[in-house]
């Protein structure tokens, strides 16, 4: 969790618990992040951006009870901001030229989808023996070279390549749809 996410989430939790000062700080801080977010995505800028900031802050306030505290606050807030922007653009009859999902500079570095993918990857890799799992994680997830990972885990480069190949083959056999179930046979 990033420092920004942790701070905003803590402010949100305190605000939900009735801390009015924390709530004001949260909304002020969010306003500061939302202004450039909207300004960069609008054709004619500042006036509409300020209106969208206010609409988003009002929506965050009005819908605060719908936030799931086990989830990142910024993902929830970004979803509201994104919907406000889309509604505004629809009213204007224009299509945005900047990607709407580009909010990395404003919010947490991770998304709900990242967490789900990480969870799935962890479950899949758990099927491998520990040495193979660590080798796959270093090469395919962390981006180490085969030589670096081999050295780290006490493999020769050739043995590391064979281990990675066999591990991926095992996982593919386990999770790939059967060719027979797809209506394809080896005689085709």
Measured in whole angstroms, how far is the alpha carbon of residue 168 from the centre of its chain?
25
pLDDT at residue 38 is higher than 50: yes
Q: What is the pLDDT of residue 99?
A: 56
pLDDT at residue 58 is higher than 90: yes
Q: What is the pLDDT of residue 37?
A: 85
Burial of 157 from C-beta contacts in 10 A (0-12 / 13-18 / 19+): middle
Domains and CATH numbers, the chain: 3-92 (1.10.1740.10), 112-175 (1.10.10.10)
pLDDT at residue 53 is higher than 60: yes
Q: Give yes or no for a contact between 11 and 25, defined as CB atoms under 8 angstroms apart.
A: yes
Please, which pLDDT band fits residue 180 given cuts at 50, 70 and 90?
A: very low
**Contact residues for 125 (Cβ-Cβ < 8 A; gap 6+):** 133, 136, 137
Q: Give yes or no for a contact between 45 and 37, defined as CB atoms under 8 angstroms apart.
A: no
Mean pLDDT is lowest, of 47-61, 82-96, 156-170, for: 82-96
Express each pLDDT in 105-145 by its tens digit.
Answer: 555 555 545 566 777 778 888 888 888 888 888 888 788 88
Q: Give yes or no for a contact between 157 and 146, defined as CB atoms under 8 angstroms apart.
A: yes
Please, which pLDDT band fits residue 55 given cuts at 50, 70 and 90?
A: very high
- What average pLDDT does this structure show over 168-184? 67
């Amino acid at each position: 969790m990033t420092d920004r996410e942790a701070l905003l989430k803590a402010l949100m939790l305190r605000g939900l618990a009735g801390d009015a000062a924390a709530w004001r700080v949260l909304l002020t801080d969010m306003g500061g992040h939302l202004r450039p977010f909207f300004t960069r995505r609008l054709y004619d800028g500042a006036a509409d951006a300020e209106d969208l900031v206010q609409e988003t802050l009002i929506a965050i306030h009005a819908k605060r009870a719908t936030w799931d505290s086990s989830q990142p606050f910024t993902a929830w807030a970004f979803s509201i901001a994104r919907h406000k922007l889309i509604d505004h653009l629809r009213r204007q009859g224009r299509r945005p030229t900047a990607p709407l999902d580009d909010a990395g500079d404003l919010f947490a570095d991770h998304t709900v989808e990242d967490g789900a993918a990480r969870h799935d990857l962890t479950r899949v890799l758990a099927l491998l023996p520990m040495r193979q799992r660590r080798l796959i994680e270093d090469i395919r997830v962390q981006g180490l070279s085969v030589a670096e990972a081999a050295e780290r885990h006490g493999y020769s480069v050739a043995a590391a390549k064979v281990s990675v190949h066999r591990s991926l083959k095992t996982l593919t056999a386990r999770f790939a749809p059967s060719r027979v179930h797809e209506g394809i046979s080896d005689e085709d």
